[in-house]
Structure 1
Amino acid sequence: MPLSPNDILQNRYIIVELIGRGGMGAVYKAIDQRLGNTVALKQTTVRSPHLREAFENEACLLASLQHPVLPVVSDHFTEDDEKFLVMQYIPGDDLGTMLMNETERFPVPDVLRWADQLLDALDYLHSQKPPIIHRDIKPRNLKLNPRSDVILLDFGLAKGSQMIYTADGAGRNVRILTPEYAPLEQIQGTDSDPRSDLYSLAATLYHLLTGKAPSDALTRAASVLSEQTDPLRPSNELNPQIPPAIAVILHQAMSHSLEQRFASARAMRTALKMVYGSNMGSGLVRDSSRLLLDSSGQTTLPIVERKRLVAEAPSSGVPEPRLPLPVVVVAKEGGGNYQTIGEAIARAGPGTRILVRPGVYRESLVIDRSIEIIGDGPREDIFIESTASVCLVMQTEYALVRGLTLRGRAGLEHKAHVTVDIPMGRLVLEECDLSSDTLACIAIHGSNANPVIWRCQIHDSKGGGVLVYDHGQGMIEDCDIFGNAGAGVEIRQIGNPIIRRCKIHHGERDGVYVTEKGAGLIEGCDIFGNVRAGVSIHRQGNPFVRLCRIHDQVNGYGVYVYDKGEGTLEGCNIFGNSKAGVGITQGGDPFIRRCRIHHEKNRGVFIFEHGEGTIEKCSIMGNFDTGISIGQGSNPTIATAASIRMVRRPFACFRGGEGGSKRAT
C-alpha cells in the first residue's frame, strides 16, 4: 500500500516524502521520532515468498556490515504484511541521475578517488565468509555523502529501469541487474563470483569517466562470436583526459572471461594505486603500451629497456599491454646494472623499475622522477640507512617503493631527521620496515602530499611513527605501528589523513595524537598497550574515529579529549584502559555515538574540569567504578538510549557536575 506524508509506522517513523518507486516497492524519506534524525525507509510490496525472504536476508545482512562506503542500517520490521528496512538517509541525487543532468563528465581525479573507496568496500564484502557479492553496482546505486565520499546503495527495488530478476529455490540469491553494467555470466544466470562485481564496477567507472554507458556484455559477446570488433570503445578515446593506463585497467576488468579479470578487488585497487598517481597534475602520461598487468594487479618484470613518454593519450584505442616495464638491477656486491640506488635513480627514465638486491645501502635517496624501487629479496636483508640526512625524500608526482628496510640513523653528529620525508606527490610505500633513532619514521606535510602507506611496519622511532601536518593528507592502511617514543600517529596543523585497519600499539606516549585543527578518518584500527591514551584529541583536533578497538592503555585513557578538542567516535569498542574508557576535560567536546565502553579498570566515562560532549546510543557496562562520572563544572549531554550498566555505580555527578540527559537506561 502506498504511503503518504505524515503517515506513521511503528509509532516511530513519520513519512516525509517519496524518494522513488518501482515495480517491487518504494523508498521514502522519513523522520525517526525517537532519535530525531532523518532516515530512508525502504518498503517492499512483493508477495513472492522467495523475494520476501530475500528482503529479510538483505536487512539482516546489511545490519551486520560496517564500512564507510556502506549505508548504516538501523532497523527492519513488518507492518500490515509489508516489510520495511530503515537505513541511513543520504540527501541529493544518485550519480546516475547526476550523469543525466550534468552537461560535463565527472572529473577524473574524483572518479578515481571513488574507485579506490569502492574497491576497499568490495574487498571488505568479498572477504566475508561466505563472500558477499553485490551484483548490482551501477551509477544509480551510488550517492555522495556531505564529505563527497561515495556510498554504495542497493535501491534497486525502488527503480523503474529495465531489470532482470533471478532467484534460486531458497530465495537467497535474488538479485536485480541492469544489462549495461552486468557481466555475461550474470546475465546468463551462470555462476558469478567476486570478479563479477569488478566488471560492474569497471562499467560504472567507464560511464562516470566518459559520460557514455558501455556496450552491454551480450552485445559485445555476440559481436565477438560473429568475428566483428568489440563495440566497447576505449574509455580514453571518448575522454582524452583519461590516462591510457587507467583505460587498460578498466578494459581488463571488463573482460568477458572471469580468468582474464583481476583476481580480486584488492588486486585491482593495487593496480590503480600503481598507475594513477603518476598521471595526476602532469602534462605527461605513461605509455600504457608498455604496461603489463597480471591478475594480481602487479606489473610483470624483466627486460631492461628505456621507457618513452607520450604527451597526450593516444586516440587509436586502448593499447594492447604487451611489453613490460623497463627494469634495472642494483646489487651492492656487483652483478647488477648499478651498485648504488642513487646512481640508478639518476640514470633512470620516468617509469623505470629499480630492483634492489640484498645489502646495506648507506645512501640518502631523492626520488625526483616517476619510478618504482622494489626489493629483490627478503625485506630484512635489504637495508637503506642514512646518517647525514633522510633516507628517502619524495620530490615528484608519483613513485612506488616496496619491500625495503629503511633506517634513520643519527650518526656521530647526532643530526635530527625523519626516515622518509613526503612534502609532495603520491608515494606508494608498500610492505616496508621503517625505524628511526632520531625523529619520526615518516613525515607527510604540505597540501600536495598525498601518499599511500600500505602494510608497513613503523616502529622504534625516537620521535613518532607517522607525523602528518601542514595540510598533509594520505592513506595509511594495514600497517603495524609500535614501540615509538612519540605518538604512533600524530596529526596537526590541518593534517587530514585516512588511517584504516592499522595496529597502533605499545608506544611510549599516545597511540594517535590529534591537535591544532588536525582531522582525518581513523577506521577499523586496533589501538592498544600505549603508555598514555589510545587516542588523544587536543586544541581543536577534530578526527572521525570509527569502528576501532581501543583498549588496554597502560597508564591512561582509551580516548582523552581535552583543551577544546572535539572529534567524533562512532561504533568503537573501548575497554580495559587504566584511567577510563573516555576522559573529557578543559572544554573538550566530542560526539560519542554507538560505542561500547565496558570493563574499564576504573570509570567508563570521566568528564571533569568543564568537560562537555554528547554521548548517544552507547552501551556502558561492566566498569570497575562509575559508568559515567561528571564533575567540576562539566555539562555533557547523555542522549537517547544510552545503556548504562555497572559493577558499582552507573552514574555519578560530583563537585558541581551537571549533565543533561534526554534518555538513559
Structure 2
Amino acid sequence: MSLCINPQCTNPQNPDNILFCQACGSELLLEGCYRVVGFLGGGGFGKTYEILDTRTQTTKVIKILINNHPKAIELFQREAEVLTRLNHPGIPQVEPNGYFIYFPRSSPEPLHCLVMEKIEGLDLNVYLKKRDYRPIDQKLALQWFKESVIILQQVHQQGLFHRDIKPSNIMLRADGRLALIDFGTARSITQTYIAKQSAGQVTGVISAGYTPSEQIHGQAVQQSDFFALGRTFIYLLTGKEPTDSLIYNSYSDELSWRNHIQVLPQFADLLDQMMARLPSQRPQNTQIILQKIAEIESYLNSPLQTPPPQTPTPPNRRKFMKFLGFGGLGIALAGLIYAVLPKTKSKLVVSRLGDGDYQTITEAIANAQPNTSIMVRPGFYQESIVINKPIKIIGDGSKADIVIESPDSNCILMEADTATVSGLTIRCTAGKNNKKFYGVDISQGQLTLENCDITSDSLACIAIHHATADAIIRNCEIHDGKASGIFVYDHGQGRIEDCYLYSNTLSGITIQDGGNPTVERCRIRDGGILIDQNGKGSINNCDVFSTTLGAGIEIRKNGNPAIENCVIRDGQGSGVLVDQNGRGIIKECKIFNNRLSGIEIRNDSNIVIRECKVNRNQQYALYVHDRGTATVVNCDLTANVRGAFEIDNTSQVQRSGNQE
C-alpha cells in the first residue's frame, strides 16, 4: 500500500505500484525515491509516517509539518539543520538532503518534510508505563544516565542545546541503546541568540516538571538541559512525574524524592546538583558530569577495603633525649626549643569543613613555607587569593566541586616568581558589583595554571601583562569572559597549550602592545583570536571554529603573528582578516567553510601565505583591497563560491604555484 500525504485527500490509500494518487492526483513517490507505507502518529503541528526508501530498500521515517505558522516552520527547519550537523548513534541520522518541501495537488500550501532514520523501540515514558510505572534500578539508571550525558555532549559540543529533554524525547532502541529525539526546539548559542535573550525576544519552551525557571522566562542555557535530564531520571528512579504531589511541594517548589528510592548518596547528590535552582549552581559542562559518573563507577567497582597496616612504634622520646645527653632539664629545654623554632610542612590541607589545617586558602598561603603544596578540598571559597611566594595550590577532588569565587577583586593575583595552580573552578563575579577585575591576573613571574575551569563576568578570564610575566596555561576550559578569554598585553609572554576557549564575548585570545605568547593545540569557539596594536605571537596547530563575531583570526594595527598548521573554519565572517597595517605569515593552514572570504587583506596590510588550503568559503579564497598586499605561494584556492581572487586596482598580490 502507498499512502497519499495530501491533507485534503479523501482517500489516501493506493496500490504500491502507481505514481500518482487515484483520489487527488498528488505524487506518491516523494523526491523520486520515498514511498509512504504507514501512519505512525501525529498532533496539531505535524504527522509522522513510515516510508520505504526505494533506492536502498530501507525503512525510514518522514515527519510532515501540517501547520504553516512561521514559528512552526522555523522550529521544523531548525530541527532539520541540527540533525544534519550531528553524527552520533544516539541521535537520529538525517541525510544532507533529508529536508524538502512537497507540493500536494490542488493544495493551497506546501508541506515541509524531513526524512530521518527510523528508531525501533519505545520512548522512556511509554517504556515506564508498560512496566506499570515500576522504577528502574540504580545500575540501569547509572548506565542510561551516562549514555544520555554522552549523547548530550555531542549536542553541546556543536554549540547547541536541546531545550526539551524529557522521558518522551528519549528512545530506548530494541538493542538497548538510547537515542535523543525531537530537536525542533534546539537552539544554537550565538551572539544573536544572546542578544535576543537579553531583550526578552526568545520563546520559552515549557514541559511541566522538566523545564527550569530560567527557560520558562526565555533565558535557556546549556545547563537548562542538565536540569531537565536530572528530572527525567527522578521519574525513571521513582516512577513518579516531577509534578506528583507525593514528591513535589508546589508551595515551596521543593522536590523530595530521596526517601522513595535507595541509591548511592554520590549519585543522588549529582542528580540534585543537576536540578539546582540556578544554572550557575549546576555542573558547568558535560565533561564534569562524566567525571563525577566515573568517580561513582569507581566507587561501585572498588574492592572491600583492607585494614590499614600497623604504624611502626616511634622510638622512645626519653631514651632519645638521654642519648643526646639531656636529663629531665634537657627534655624541658628541648621542648622549649621545639615550641619556638618554626615548624615546616611540605603539604597543607585547606577544607571548609574544618578537617584540614586551614579553612581558607588565604590563611594557608600566609602560613606556608616556600615550595609548600596546598591541597584544597571540595567546597565554595569566596576569597581573593594573592600568591606572593613559590607554592602549589592543588585541587584535592573534582574541580567542579572546588570553587573559588571573588565578587570584589581578582580571584587570583600573581606576585611571586613562580607558582602552580591546578584543578580548580575559578569564577570572577566582580561584574555584578560593577567592578573591573580579571579572573586570574598575572603581572609577573611564571604561574602554571592547569586543569582549571575559569570564567569572568567582569574583564577577561586571564590577563598576562608586563615583560616579567611568563605564564603557562595548560588544559584549561576558559569561557564566558565578559571581554576576552585570555588577554596578553604590555609585552606579556607565555605558553597557552591544549585549552578550550568558548563563549567569550570579544575573543578567545587577544594579543596587544607587544604581547608575544605561544598558542598551541587549542580549540577556540565563538570568539576567535585578535592580534592587535603591535601584538605578536606564534599560533600553532589550533582549531578556530564557529566564530560569531568578526573573523576567526584578526590581525590589526601592526600586529605581526606567525600562524602555522591551524584550522580556521565555519565562521560567520572571514576566516582571517588582516587590516590597518597588519603583518605576519600564514603557513600550512586549512581555511574553509567561512561565510565571507577565506582571507581578507586591506588598508595597507601585507601578509605572506604559504602552502595553505583555502576552500569552500562563501565568497573568495582571497579578497585583497584598499592598498592590501600579499604573497601567495603553493596554496590550494579551489572550490570557493566566487572564485580564488578578488584584487582591486589599489592592491598587489605576488602569486606562484597555486591551484586556482
TM-score of Structure 1 vs Structure 2, range by shorter chain:
0.5 to 0.7
Q: Deviations over 1:470-510 (max 9, x none)?
A: xx353443164324467888444xx2524331543343567
Q: Deviations over 1:308-336 (max 9, x none)?
A: xxx9xxxxxxxxxxxxxxxxxxxxxxxxx
Residues 379 and 403, structure 2, Cα contact 8 Å, conserved in 1: yes
Find the counterpart in structure 1 of residue 164 from structure 2.
136
Residues 623 and 646, structure 2, Cα contact 8 Å, conserved in 1: yes
Q: Deviations over 1:359-389 (max 9, x none)?
A: 995967744142446446xxxxx561324x1
Correspondent of 2:579 among 577, 580, 587: 577
Find the counterpart in structure 2 of residue 336 from structure 1.
none
Question: Is 1:370 equivalent to 2:377 in the alignment?
Answer: yes
Question: Is 1:460 equivalent to 2:488 in the alignment?
Answer: no
Amino acid at match of 1:459: I
Tell me, in whole angstroms, the C-alpha distance in 1 between the residues paired with 2:182 and 2:466. 43
Tell me, in whole angstroms, the C-alpha distance in 2 between the residues paired with 1:460 and 1:111. 42
Q: Deviations over 1:422-465 (max 9, x none)?
A: 2xx45444445433354455522xxxx35344443523154778
Residues 249 and 255, structure 2, Cα contact 8 Å, conserved in 1: no
Deviation at 1:199, TM superposition (A): 7.9
Tell me, in whole angstroms, the C-alpha distance in 1 between the residues paired with 2:219 and 2:73. 22
Deviation at 1:570, TM superposition (A): 1.7
Question: Is 1:408 equivalent to 2:411 in the alignment?
Answer: no
Q: Which moved more, 1:69-78 or 1:204-213?
A: 69-78
Residues 210 and 232, structure 2, Cα contact 8 Å, conserved in 1: no
Deviation at 1:640, TM superposition (A): 4.2
Q: Tell me, what secondary structure is at the counterpart of 1:58?
A: helix
Amino acid at match of 1:451: D
Q: Deviations over 1:108-130 (max 9, x none)?
A: 667668779989999x99xxxxx
Find the counterpart in structure 2 of residue 421 from structure 1.
421
Amino acid at match of 1:569: R
Correspondent of 1:281 among 268, 290, 295: 295
Tell me, in whole angstroms, the C-alpha distance in 1 between the residues paired with 2:289 and 2:35. 44
Tell me the percent identity.
Answer: 10
Tell me, in whole angstroms, the C-alpha distance in 2 between the residues paired with 1:239 and 1:436. 44
How does the TM-score come out when normalised to structure 2? 0.55
Q: Tell me, what secondary structure is at the counterpart of 1:547?
A: coil
Residues 349 and 376, structure 2, Cα contact 8 Å, conserved in 1: no
Residues 428 and 439, structure 2, Cα contact 8 Å, conserved in 1: no
Deviation at 1:601, TM superposition (A): 2.7
Question: Is 1:245 equivalent to 2:262 in the alignment?
Answer: no
Find the counterpart in structure 1 of residue 240 from structure 2.
215
Q: Tell me, what secondary structure is at the counterpart of 2:350?
A: helix
Please tell me whether Structure 1 or Structure 2 has the larger radius of gyration of its CA atoms.
2
Deviation at 1:643, TM superposition (A): 9.7
Question: Is 1:639 equivalent to 2:644 in the alignment?
Answer: no
Residues 402 and 430, structure 1, Cα contact 8 Å, conserved in 2: yes
Shift in CA distance, 179/111, structure 1 to aligned 2, threshold 3 Å: same
Q: Tell me, what secondary structure is at the counterpart of 1:638?
A: coil
Alignment of 1:100-139 (within 5 A): 105-106=142-143, 136-138=164-166
Tell me, in whole angstroms, the C-alpha distance in 1 between the residues paired with 2:529 and 2:41. 43
Q: Deviations over 1:493-550 (max 9, x none)?
A: xx252433154334356788543xx24243335735253468x542x44454633534
Alignment of 1:345-364 (within 5 A): 345=350, 349=354, 354=359
Tell me, in whole angstroms, the C-alpha distance in 2 between the residues paired with 1:464 and 1:566. 26
Shift in CA distance, 475/658, structure 1 to aligned 2, threshold 3 Å: same
Amino acid at match of 2:165: I
Deviation at 1:41, TM superposition (A): 11
Residues 476 and 499, structure 1, Cα contact 8 Å, conserved in 2: yes
Amino acid at match of 2:227: A
Shift in CA distance, 570/179, structure 1 to aligned 2, threshold 3 Å: same
Q: Tell me, what secondary structure is at the counterpart of 1:637?
A: coil
Q: Could you list the runs of 5+ residues in structure 1 that have no partner in the other structure?
A: 32-39, 126-133, 144-149, 158-171, 254-261, 286-310, 312-341, 377-381, 660-665
Tell me, in whole angstroms, the C-alpha distance in 1 between the residues paired with 2:391 and 2:51. 55
Q: Could you list the runs of 5+ residues in structure 2 that have no partner in the other structure?
A: 7-15, 21-26, 54-59, 104-108, 129-138, 172-178, 187-200, 300-304, 306-346, 430-437
Deviation at 1:402, TM superposition (A): 1.7
Find the counterpart in structure 2 of residue 84 from structure 1.
112
Tell me, in whole angstroms, the C-alpha distance in 1 between the residues paired with 2:392 and 2:121. 46
Shift in CA distance, 195/568, structure 1 to aligned 2, threshold 3 Å: closer
Find the counterpart in structure 2 of residue 154 from structure 1.
183
Residues 414 and 444, structure 2, Cα contact 8 Å, conserved in 1: yes
Alignment of 1:185-224 (within 5 A): 194=219, 202-207=227-232, 212=237, 215-217=240-242, 220-221=244-245
Q: Tell me, what secondary structure is at the counterpart of 1:584?
A: strand
Q: Deviations over 1:64-99 (max 9, x none)?
A: 99xx99999999885513243789x99999996899
Q: Tell me, what secondary structure is at the counterpart of 2:625?
A: coil
Q: Tell me, what secondary structure is at the counterpart of 2:273?
A: helix
Find the counterpart in structure 2 of residue 529 from structure 1.
532
Q: Tell me, what secondary structure is at the counterpart of 1:407?
A: strand
Q: Tell me, what secondary structure is at the counterpart of 1:384?
A: strand
Tell me, in whole angstroms, the C-alpha distance in 2 between the residues paired with 1:614 and 1:459. 35
Amino acid at match of 1:407: L
Tell me, in whole angstroms, the C-alpha distance in 1 between the residues paired with 2:644 and 2:99. 21
Length, aligned pairs only: 511
Shift in CA distance, 401/568, structure 1 to aligned 2, threshold 3 Å: same
